[in-house]
Amino acid sequence: MSGDVQAGPEGRPGQPPHTRVGVSAAALLVVVAAGVLTGSVLNLVTVQRVIYVPGPVYDTLGQIDGADIVSVDEELTTYDDTDGHLYFTTIRLQGGPGDTVSAWEALRASIDPSTTVVPREEVFPEDVTAEQVREQNTELMQHSQDDAAVVALRAQGVQIDENVVVAQVIADAPADGVLEVEDEIVRVAGEEVSDTTAVRDQIQAVEPGQEVPVTVRRAGEEIELDVPTRLDEESGRTIVGVYLAPVYDNPYEVTIDAGNVGGPSAGLMFSLAVYDEITPGALTGGRSIAGTGTIAGDGTVGGIGGITQKMYAAREAGAEVFLAPSDNCTEVVEGDPGGITVVPVGTFDDALAVVDELEGSPGTSASALSFPTCADELEDQAEQTG
What CATH number corresponds to the domain at position 281? Answer: 3.30.230.10
Give CA–CA dist 273/256, Å, rounded.
10
Question: Across residues 76-84, what is the average pLDDT?
Answer: 75
Distance of CA 148 to the CA centre of its chain: 15
Same domain flag for 307 and 352: yes
What CATH number corresponds to the domain at position 227? Answer: 2.30.42.10
Same domain flag for 152 and 170: no
Question: Across residues 365-378, what is the average pLDDT?
Answer: 92
Which pLDDT does position 299 carry in this prediction?
94
Same domain flag for 255 and 358: yes
Residue 43 has pLDDT above 70, yes or no: no
Domain boundary, last residue among 249, 273, 299: 249
Question: Across residues 343-354, what is the average pLDDT?
Answer: 97
Residue 11 has pLDDT above 60, yes or no: no
Same domain flag for 268 and 358: yes
- Assigned domain for 289 exists: yes
Domain boundary, last residue among 211, 233, 249: 249
Same domain flag for 292 and 377: yes
Backbone phi, psi, residue 348, to 5°: -60, -40
- Assigned domain for 199 exists: yes
Residue 14 has pLDDT above 80, yes or no: no
Confidence of residue 341 (pLDDT cuts 50, 70, 90): very high
Query: pLDDT averaged over the chain?
Result: 87
Q: What would the pLDDT profile of 292-303 be if each residue is shown by its tens digit?
A: 999 999 999 999
Same domain flag for 320 and 281: yes
Residue 232 has pLDDT above 50, yes or no: yes
- Known catalytic membership, residue 310: yes
Give CA–CA dist 99/102, Å, rounded.
10
Domain boundary, last residue among 231, 249, 267: 249
Q: What would the pLDDT profile of 241-284 be if each residue is shown by its tens digit?
A: 998 888 999 999 899 998 889 888 999 999 999 999 998 888 99
Residue 288 has pLDDT above 90, yes or no: yes
Give CA–CA dist 76/123, Å, rounded.
40
State the CB neighbour count (10 A cutoff) for residue 134: 13
Same domain flag for 291 and 364: yes
Mapped onto helix, strand or coil, the DSSP state of residue 184 is strand
All residues at 6 or more sequence positions from 221 whose CB lies less than 8 Å from its CB, including other chains: none
Residues above pLDDT 90, as percent of the chain: 56
- Assigned domain for 28 exists: no
Q: Of 102, 265, 271, 326, which is the active-site residue?
A: 265
Confidence of residue 42 (pLDDT cuts 50, 70, 90): low
CB-count exposure of residue 333 (10 Å: 0-12, 13-18, 19+): middle
Give CA–CA dist 140/129, Å, rounded.
17
Same domain flag for 198 and 221: yes
| Cβ atoms of residues 10 and 78 within 8 Å | no
Range of the domain at 137: 55-93+126-156+251-385
Which pLDDT does position 233 carry in this prediction?
84
Cβ burial 73-82 (10 Å sphere, 16+ → b, else e)? eeebebeeeb
- Give the total number of structural domains in the chain: 2
- Residue 222, CB half-sphere, CA atoms under 13 Å: how many? 8
Q: What would the pLDDT profile of 144-191 be if each residue is shown by its tens digit?
A: 899 999 999 999 999 999 899 998 898 889 999 999 999 999 999 999
Which pLDDT does position 123 carry in this prediction?
86
Q: Of 102, 271, 288, 310, which is the active-site residue?
A: 310
Give CA–CA dist 302/83, Å, rounded.
26
CB-count exposure of residue 242 (10 Å: 0-12, 13-18, 19+): buried
pTM for the structure as a whole: 0.81
Which pLDDT does position 25 carry in this prediction?
64
Low-confidence winner among 79-88, 190-199, 319-328 (lowest mean pLDDT): 79-88
